[in-house]
Structure 1
Amino acid sequence: MSLLSKATALLLLTVVVVTTGCGRVVFTPKAQQAQALSLSPEQQQTLAAQMQQLQQRADALDRDNQELEAIIAQRGQQLQLQHNQALALQEQLKATTDRLAAVQSTNTQLEQRTQALTASVQQMPGAEIRANNTLLKSLQSTNVPGVTARQDGDTIRVALAGDMLFVPGSPQLQSGAEQTLRTVATDLMTNYPDHLIGIEGHTDPMTPASPQYSTPHHLSVAQSTAVYDLLVRSLGVSPQQLFVIGHGANHPVVSNATAAGQAQNRRIELVIYPETTRSR
């Protein structure tokens, strides 16, 4: 065996690789195996070069370990972020489901109230059914801009443009709306003083939801109720003669495909029925 081979074998036997916690590789000679060895300058240079190569490989491994640790940490952060996003989506889904259930419950209650009002009108004491062939009389209020009247079977429907009456998307009356309602109501009371009158609210499906009125039905009920309050409070119409219905966007008179059609469908209809109420 050559002297260089012996030196290399001795180096490999006397050096142990110790891996630290951070992944760094160092070399530590074993004192009990160290032996005195006489090397020529050329052999020493060769040995030093080999040791330098080993150290370079150790440094490269250390860098690779650090990069792997960084990648693992990044993957862990991404997984945690995805987990948090999944939890947030679950909470949003639950909140949406709860709101939908609340809206469905409210719609059910409104339908029940409407049915109860209709039943109470039909069973109202003192109600009298009269032929309605001559109900469509000469109404002066049809000359008011935004007001129309038409025969609908045994009923008369007097329609008032919703945009003329209300601030958009709310039951708040516009300036001048009270005078318009007063004119129409006075005309109706003159021609139909004893007839039952339904106040029916209609909206369009494009009306944006709000915290107070989450559906078109809610808004239509609020608007027809505002008209009811005005007729009773300011005009002295008997509450027994009136009832309120909110149809939402369920009964358009024209297509909602255009803005003009949507505006025409936003309306309040005062519906005169053939039944009359007379105090006994």
Structure 2
Amino acid sequence: MPLGICLCLGLLVICFSGCSKNGDFTNPFASAGGGRSDRVPSGSPAQQVAQLEQWRRDSELEVKQLRQSVAGLTEKNQTLQTQIANAQRATQLQNQHLKSVSDRLAATTSELAQTQMQKQGSSQDAASLNELNQEKERQLAATRQSVQKLQQQLKESTEQLGTVQSQLTQSEARAQSAQQSVEHLTASSRQRGGATIRSNQNLKMVTLPTDKATIERDGNVIRIQLMAENFFNPQTAQIQDGEIVTLEQMGKKLAEAYPDQRIGLEGHANPNQDPKGVWRNGHHLSSAQAMAIYEFFLTRSVFRSDQMFIVGHGANHPVYSSATETGRRGNDRVEIVIYPDAVK
């Protein structure tokens, strides 16, 4: 063994010996887990050196192991630090995601609130629209009722128009009949037994001696109406006995006023009349009543036969509505028509 090493080992032995005697020296190679701090070299100096050498090697081995442990712990610590950093980053990402979710939740909550407000507004709008719709329905119902009333009025007006048109048609037919009679009389102006017909356009009105007959001017003719119930027995062409004097007085008055005029005796019947006995219909009865007046005037020389003619109109020319009893009685009549044509 070299001298220097031996000297060093000797010094170490002396130091350990002195320290052990003093009790103040702590083995620098002792470890808490191995219990080596209580060991003291024994034996000869060479043995003590050997023991110290062994302890040194053990210490170096422990140091090496400790360094390896430190290195492992350091590596583990770095791994843990890396994991911690990763966890921190993940936490940060989670926080960011959580913040994003919170923001989205807040936005969704706000949108939900707005939607609820809009829904509330929509409900109010729906209520307003429903009320408006109900009002329109009421207006539509009122309009329909008005339309129905107008349609009913139109129907009534149409019926009235039809009635008026019917009356107009009857009036036109009556006028045409009168015109035909005038034309007939004009055409017959040729000589008939020495008589000639000529026109007189200035017929005057007379006052009748009875209130059971009426007189009126109708264009260029004069009409005298004799209601059948006032002059004839019911459903007959027989003149009432009590009216013979009345007819004689009226015939005398007419003969004085119209001695040469053309005289038409026109019989009329009620449209609802249902004659009994020998009369087939109202037309037949009205013609018979006109003939009765003709015979009456002729036999009493009121008018000449060449002055008079007979027409039976039946129910073709009513002057009153047959819906009432008064109207029906008024339509049963004989009219004495004074024409402007004179027969000489």
- Give the AA of the match of 1:252: P
Match of 1:136 among 197, 204, 209: 204
- Give the AA of the match of 1:206: N
Q: Which has the higher contact order (CA 8 A, sep 6+)?
A: 1
CA contact 1:149–1:157 (8 Å) conserved in 2: yes
- Give the AA of the match of 1:244: I
Match of 2:279 among 183, 208, 213: 213
> In the TM superposition, what is the alpha-carbon distance from 1:148 to its structure 2 partner?
0.7
Q: 1:208-261 CA distances to partner (integer Å, 9 max, x unpaired)?
A: 233521111100100000110010012342100101111111111110111111
Q: Which moved more, 1:227-236 or 1:115-124?
A: 115-124
**Cα distance between partner residues in 2 of 1:188 and 1:238:** 13
Describe how 1:37-56 pairs up with structure 2 within 5 A.
Answer: none
Change in Cα spacing, 1:122 to 1:169, as seen in structure 2 (3 Å) is farther
Q: How many residue pairs were aligned? A: 160
Match of 1:258 among 320, 324, 334: 324
Aligned to 2:236: 170
- Give the AA of the match of 1:175: D
Aligned to 2:311: 245
Q: 1:144-182 CA distances to partner (integer Å, 9 max, x unpaired)?
A: 121111111110001111111111111011122221211
**Cα distance between partner residues in 2 of 1:145 and 1:210:** 29
Q: Which runs of 5+ in 1 are unaligned?
A: 1-114
Q: Which runs of 5+ in 2 are unaligned?
A: 1-179, 191-195
SS at match of 2:291: helix
CA contact 2:255–2:302 (8 Å) conserved in 1: no
SS at match of 2:217: strand
Change in Cα spacing, 1:189 to 1:223, as seen in structure 2 (3 Å) is same
Match of 1:123 among 174, 182, 188: 188
CA contact 1:207–1:216 (8 Å) conserved in 2: yes
Max Rg structure: 2
SS at match of 1:197: strand
Describe how 1:259-278 pairs up with structure 2 within 5 A.
Answer: 259-278=325-344
**Cα distance between partner residues in 1 of 2:286 and 2:328:** 14
Change in Cα spacing, 1:192 to 1:116, as seen in structure 2 (3 Å) is closer
**Cα distance between partner residues in 1 of 2:226 and 2:328:** 14
Aligned to 1:226: 292
Match of 2:263 among 197, 202, 205: 197
TM-score (norm 2): 0.44
Change in Cα spacing, 1:229 to 1:173, as seen in structure 2 (3 Å) is same
**Cα distance between partner residues in 2 of 1:222 and 1:190:** 26
CA contact 1:241–1:277 (8 Å) conserved in 2: yes
SS at match of 2:314: coil
Change in Cα spacing, 1:131 to 1:236, as seen in structure 2 (3 Å) is closer
Change in Cα spacing, 1:136 to 1:205, as seen in structure 2 (3 Å) is same
TM-score (norm 1): 0.53
Q: Which moved more, 1:263-272 or 1:229-238?
A: 229-238
CA contact 1:169–1:207 (8 Å) conserved in 2: no
**Cα distance between partner residues in 2 of 1:263 and 1:147:** 13
Q: CA RMSD in A?
A: 2.1
* Larger relative helix fraction: 2
Runs of 4+ in 1 over 3 A off after TM superposition: 115-122
SS at match of 1:272: strand
**Cα distance between partner residues in 1 of 2:181 and 2:257:** 28
> In the TM superposition, what is the alpha-carbon distance from 1:117 to its structure 2 partner?
11
- Give the AA of the match of 1:199: L
CA contact 1:136–1:151 (8 Å) conserved in 2: no
Change in Cα spacing, 1:274 to 1:120, as seen in structure 2 (3 Å) is closer
1:180 aligns with 2:246: yes
CA contact 2:271–2:318 (8 Å) conserved in 1: no
- Give the AA of the match of 2:328: Q
- Give the AA of the match of 1:268: V
CA contact 1:157–1:271 (8 Å) conserved in 2: yes
- Give the AA of the match of 2:188: Q
CA contact 2:297–2:303 (8 Å) conserved in 1: yes
